[in-house]
Chain A
Amino acid sequence: MVIKVKNLVKRYDELLALDHLSLEVHKGEIFGLLGPNGSGKTTIINCILSLLKYDKGEIEVFGKPMKPESYDLKRDIGIIMQNVAVFDELTVYENIDYFCGLYIRDKAERKRLVREAIEFVGLEDFTKFYPKKLSGGLLRRLNIACGIAHKPKLIILDEPTVAVDPQSRNKILEGIVKLNEQGATIVYTSHYMEEVEQICSRIVIMDKGKVVATGSKEELKGMIALGEKITVETFAAAQPEHLAELRKLPGIESVEWHDKLLSIKSGKGRNNLEQVLDFLKTRNISFGRIYSELPTLNDVFLEITGKQLRD
């Protein structure tokens, strides 16, 4: 067990930011913390890091209680904040070297580690640049390099891809997977479900300071009734009686028609698409493209909380 949080309560005056929240992070996994903005992701991270005071609950990291002076624990943690945390007055190299130097005393080793970190994030050509001269994506990569140069066993990334171009984002995500392969446990928070879905082996979905669901993405999707979303492009306007008939088919949860698109949500089962196609044929409804999608984490979130993950 790398992180263990039990019954954590944190208030900001009136606002209950964390409401008896419990979670566990296992060794070697990429743990995803998914939730909309303001759901308490950053708060829980800061509590785990012992930067924030909390009102109730217990936090253990590497099996020991986490305190501000737990230096032996801090030595094995790397953090990448939501906001870029680098010094404007230091160059790319100096920034990484400074933060790495807070962990590693030996100069030669530090030099090697800093080089590795720079290679890892692909900033070789920018070592002498000041942060102000870097583009948003490069700056994020520097931010990451500062957090991982000392080869931590636990890496916490708090929305590291906010405002990052797709190219840099992919590079970052690939990097995280690579770090995990090298043996680090990763905690990754995001409100982008695609990212979480793409890399995380276990996911916690949060809302309003509470855990609403936990599991692998397959497990999470298994929790909800929705099995498949079928969309059909129709050329003629759909008749209300057709829609009513469709709704009566077995396994169909809901049917809507809007702007030449027929959206059908069905439960789990193998022949959903087949029966819809049969129906269209027998009613002589001409149609164009058809596609079928599996549910996303957004659908999971929607079904559990009744609202969209992103608004």
Chain B
Amino acid sequence: MFGHIMLTRMKCLLRDRQLMFWTLFFPLILGTFFQMAFSNLDKTESFKPIAAAVIENDAYKNNSFFRQLMDTVSEGDSRIFNLTRTVTAEEANQLLEAGDIVGYYTADGNQVSLTVKSSGINQSIMKSFADQYLQTSSAVEEIIQTNPQALQNGILSKLSDELDLMKEVPIGSAPLSLSVNYFYTLIAMACFYGSFLGLKEVTDIQADLSNCAMRVNMSPVHKFKAFLAGMTGALIIHFAEILILLAYVTQILKVDFGSKTGYVLATAFLGCVLGLSFGSLISAAFKKNENTKTAILLTSIMIGSFLAGMMAMNMKYQVMKYMPILSYLNPVNLLTDALYSLYYYDTLDRYLLNMGLMGAFAAVFCLGTYLIIRRRKYASL
């Protein structure tokens, strides 16, 4: 009996083309778009040598210190500049106007000035570099003034000394990718799209919501048993959908989910339960037509996904920082955050907290659904 109902319900869900589109194909398509749009995202913030120019006027030629500095930072793999040396300011201006360089230096006596077209990080680095030159020469002058012997003691040689002052302390093993969180919210959103499956299951078991349900209610099958069979079928389908999505995202789109595969699968499963039970609760709680319920579900999922950072990743952090309560009350964020914790943290504390809260939400949703569903006589049909 259980199997009979479950299998038939699965058939019903699988043949609902609209349902399949939104719960399976749409997340796959969206994931593909994400991949196409975000694949270069991490490269955008990585440092590339800046196209710069310097005018080789007399002042520049005579300023050996600045020239030397320019040479060192324009050579080798760790160079700061891809340096063009021009003869005239005119030439440099043309390059600047054409956008071939970010800016150019002009030496004038001991001073150096910078010409740029607009403000920006690369321009700021150019300025910072020129500042360095000025600062160092001012410091050297100062030292020579107060302590002329220093020059003999080889103070200038100190200038080219590499200072081993910084120790890079890595924080966690995973790369700080800008794009992974988008895929985590995508998985979370897809899990919650499962609420449409839950919605359908409830509609087809509540006699005041559909005619078929009336008929099922009249059969000698315990209503809760029939409901459970339907939900089990829905869960199997939904979990399979999420597994397909996960496989696609990890194997084909090559998105990094960290190494804790078992935990990721457990998260996906709990996410499916959460999504399904959310949909059933909404469906059971409102005796409205299906369009209204769909609108309620879609809106709440979209708001949840937005706060979890699906449209702008920073949103998730802002909520976490300024309204931490909200980030714990948003189930979409809990799911996103669980995947994020698995990817990024060394310990499982935060992950387990997320899973615990998700479990609590799922329990509340299930209990709420049960309390409404268990009623088997209706005030009106």
Q: Tell me the A residues contacting B by CB distance below 8 Å.
A: 12, 46, 49-53, 68-69, 71-72, 74-75, 77, 79, 81, 83-87, 89-90, 94, 98-99, 101-103, 105, 146-147
A47 nearest in chain B by CB position: B377
Which residues of B in the span 205-223 have a Cβ within 8 Å of any Cβ on A?
A: 207, 210-212, 214-223
Residues of B within 8 A of A85 (CB): 210-212, 214-215
Residues of A within 8 A of B15 (CB): 89-90
Residues of B within 8 A of A68 (CB): 217, 223, 376-377
- Given A79-B215, A85-B212: A51 in contact with B381 (beta carbons within 8 A): yes
Residues of B within 8 A of A74 (CB): 218-220
Please state if A101 and B8 are interface contacts (CB–CB under 8 Å). Answer: yes
**Interface size bracket, B side:** 20 to 34
Residues of A within 8 A of B259 (CB): none
CA distance A71 to B218 in the complex (A): 9
- Given A51-B217, A68-B376, A101-B4: A86 in contact with B212 (beta carbons within 8 A): yes
Q: Is B47 an interface residue (CB 8 A)?
A: no
Q: Is B378 an interface residue (CB 8 A)?
A: yes
Q: Is B61 an interface residue (CB 8 A)?
A: no
Please state if B211 and A81 are interface contacts (CB–CB under 8 Å). Answer: yes
Subset of 19 A-B contacts with CB under 8 Å: A51-B207, A51-B381, A53-B377, A68-B223, A71-B221, A74-B218, A74-B219, A75-B220, A79-B218, A81-B215, A85-B210, A85-B212, A87-B204, A89-B15, A90-B11, A98-B4, A99-B215, A102-B226, A105-B1
Please state if B377 and A102 are interface contacts (CB–CB under 8 Å). Answer: no
Residues of B within 8 A of A51 (CB): 207, 214, 217-218, 377-378, 381
Please state if B378 and A87 are interface contacts (CB–CB under 8 Å). Answer: no
Q: Is B151 an interface residue (CB 8 A)?
A: no
> Inter-chain contact count A-B, CB under 8 Å?
85
A79 nearest in chain B by CB position: B218
CA distance A101 to B215 in the complex (A): 12
Residues of A within 8 A of B212 (CB): 85-87
Please state if A46 and B219 are interface contacts (CB–CB under 8 Å). Answer: no
Please state if A52 and B222 are interface contacts (CB–CB under 8 Å). Answer: no
B11 to chain A, nearest CB (A): 7
B218 nearest in chain A by CB position: A79
Q: Is B349 an interface residue (CB 8 A)?
A: no
A66 to chain B, nearest CB (A): 11
Known: A85-B214, A146-B215. 5 other contacts (CB 8 A): A79-B215, A83-B211, A85-B210, A98-B4, A102-B220
Please state if A102 and B221 are interface contacts (CB–CB under 8 Å). Answer: yes
- Ranked 4 nearest A-B pairs via Cβ: A85-B211, A102-B219, A68-B376, A71-B220
Residues of B within 8 A of A86 (CB): 212
Q: Tell me the B residues contacting A by CB distance below 8 Å.
A: 1, 4-5, 8, 11-13, 15-16, 204, 207, 210-212, 214-223, 226, 376-381
CA distance A94 to B5 in the complex (A): 12
Residues of A within 8 A of B16 (CB): 89
Among B223, B376, B380, which residue has its beta carbon within 8 angstroms of that of A12? B380
Please state if B12 and A87 are interface contacts (CB–CB under 8 Å). Answer: yes
A255 to chain B, nearest CB (A): 48
Please state if B220 and A90 are interface contacts (CB–CB under 8 Å). Answer: no
Most chain B CB within a 10 A radius of its CB, from A50, A77, A87 = A87
Residues of A within 8 A of B217 (CB): 51, 68
Among B12, B211, B216, B380, which residue has its beta carbon within 8 angstroms of that of A89? B12
A97 nearest in chain B by CB position: B8
Residues of A within 8 A of B210 (CB): 85
CA distance A84 to B212 in the complex (A): 8
Please state if A103 and B214 are interface contacts (CB–CB under 8 Å). Answer: no
Residues of B within 8 A of A72 (CB): 220
CA distance A50 to B207 in the complex (A): 11
Among A53, A98, A147, which residue has its beta carbon within 8 angstroms of that of B8? A98
CA distance A72 to B220 in the complex (A): 7
B17 nearest in chain A by CB position: A89
Residues of B within 8 A of A84 (CB): 211
B347 to chain A, nearest CB (A): 46
Residues of A within 8 A of B211 (CB): 81, 83-85
A107 to chain B, nearest CB (A): 9
A273 to chain B, nearest CB (A): 50
Most chain A CB within a 10 A radius of its CB, from B4, B13, B223, B376 = B4
B15 nearest in chain A by CB position: A89
A7 to chain B, nearest CB (A): 18
CA distance A98 to B226 in the complex (A): 12
Please state if A53 and B215 are interface contacts (CB–CB under 8 Å). Answer: no
Please state if A101 and B1 are interface contacts (CB–CB under 8 Å). Answer: yes
Among B1, B13, B220, B381, which residue has its beta carbon within 8 angstroms of that of A52? B381
B215 nearest in chain A by CB position: A85
B16 nearest in chain A by CB position: A89
A300 to chain B, nearest CB (A): 30
Please state if B11 and A77 are interface contacts (CB–CB under 8 Å). Answer: no
CA distance A284 to B332 in the complex (A): 93
Please state if B378 and A52 are interface contacts (CB–CB under 8 Å). Answer: yes
- Given A71-B220, A79-B218, A94-B8: A53 in contact with B1 (beta carbons within 8 A): no
A149 to chain B, nearest CB (A): 11
A136 to chain B, nearest CB (A): 15
CA distance A85 to B205 in the complex (A): 12
Residues of B within 8 A of A53 (CB): 377-379
Residues of B within 8 A of A102 (CB): 1, 4-5, 216, 219-221, 226
Residues of A within 8 A of B204 (CB): 87
CA distance A146 to B110 in the complex (A): 98
- Given A12-B380, A74-B220: A90 in contact with B8 (beta carbons within 8 A): yes
- Given A79-B215, A84-B211, A85-B212: A90 in contact with B12 (beta carbons within 8 A): yes
A77 to chain B, nearest CB (A): 7
CA distance A291 to B363 in the complex (A): 74
A84 to chain B, nearest CB (A): 7
A59 to chain B, nearest CB (A): 12
Please state if A52 and B11 are interface contacts (CB–CB under 8 Å). Answer: no
